[in-house]
Amino acid sequence: MSTYTKCKFVPVIGAVLALAMTTAEPAYAARNNACATARAIFRANMNEARFWIGVADQFAAAGNETSANQASAEASHFLGLAEGALNDMSSACG
């Protein structure tokens, strides 16, 4: 890459950063919605658990018991986190 090419991108990057800084809201401006946060955490943990369950099934179908057990342990971990998030959600959204 030539020096000219490097210098050509600097103003573009600067303009994008300037635009992002002017349109972004400060962190304190966002509302702290405990119910929405708990729901998002629950959903993320359930998605991870669902992924690992699928991986465990694929390993089991291929006959790889060791990897299937490891993936199943990961799924159990995320299901436990989801259970905690569900408890948080029931208290925050109730």
pLDDT at 28: 57
CA distances from 62 to 67, 68, 71 (A): 10, 9, 13
Q: Tokens 């300037």 appear where? A: 18
Residues comprising the chain, all counted? 94
Q: Tokens 């962190």 appear where? A: 27
Closest CA to 48 of 23, 71, 29: 71
Higher pLDDT, 1 or 63: 63
pLDDT at 7: 47
Q: Which DSSP letter does residue 32 get?
A: -
What tens digit of pLDDT does each residue of 9-68 get? Answer: 444 454 445 555 545 555 555 578 889 999 999 999 999 999 999 999 999 999 999 999
